[in-house]
Structure 1
């Protein structure tokens, strides 16, 4: 009977690890996509972003 119980515990551990890995992957993809939204398409716009950041730091 204990063999069945141990197999059940191992199954839950493997299932938990799989669900955790899936959630971690979803989180990484979400953060990656969220960071890409604020990146300007043209390099000239980076100067405006830096100036804005500097003005926030001074305030």
Structure 2
């Protein structure tokens, strides 16, 4: 009887690890896609945004 019970516990542990892995993968993919939103194709735009932000802080 203990073999069946330990097999059940192992099954739940493997299932939990699999679900945690899937959630981790979804989180990584979501963050990767979210970080690419609003990224200008020309890097020169970043310097313009930075200078505007810094001048706004000084004023």
User: Which stretches in structure 2 are left out of the alignment for 5+ residues?
Assistant: none
Q: RMSD value over aligned CA atoms?
A: 1.7
Structure 1 segments of 4+ aligned residues over 4 angstroms from their partners? none
TM-score by length of 2: 0.83
Unpaired runs of 5+ residues, structure 1, are none
Are positions 1:17 and 2:17 aligned together?
yes
Deviations 1:2-54 (A, max 9, x none): 10000000000000000000000000110011000131111111112212443
Give TM-score scaled by structure 1 length: 0.83
The number of residues matched between the two structures is 58
